[in-house]
Amino acid sequence: MSRRPHDGHTEWCGKDHRCGLGEHRSEEIVIDIAARARAVLVRVRTAAGREHAEVRVRVALASGEVAARRQLVGLLGDVRQAVTRAAITGR
Ligand SMILES: [Zn+2]
């Protein structure tokens, strides 16, 4: 699989305003869960040639402070696990 087609972009590059300054960015891959949670993943190739995944997560928190903090603790644990697993797979 060629990473650089003739136009200079990567095969997966979104090729719009998001791609610029030597950085290629894919279209957003969105995980949407009934207005309660949303995750957006973008594949990025920097000008230096390094590639990485960028993930933004948005989760509705409970109105009660205790429940919200419980959610945050759970989310932090899950994110740490997901990031660690992805990093290990990349070695
Ligand atoms: Zn590009």
N residues, the chain:
91
**Cα of 59 from ligand 1 centre, angstroms:** 30
79 in the same domain as 40: no
85 in the same domain as 49: no
pTM of the model: 0.78
34 in the same domain as 55: yes
CA angle 18, 57, 86 (to 5 degrees): 90
How would you write the pLDDT of the chain (91 residues) with one tens digit per residue? 445 566 788 999 998 877 877 899 999 999 998 889 999 999 999 999 999 999 999 999 999 999 999 999 999 999 999 999 999 988 8
**Which domain range does residue 15 map to?**
1-60
**Cα of 67 from ligand 1 centre, angstroms:** 42
70 in the same domain as 51: no
- Paired strand residues for 91: none
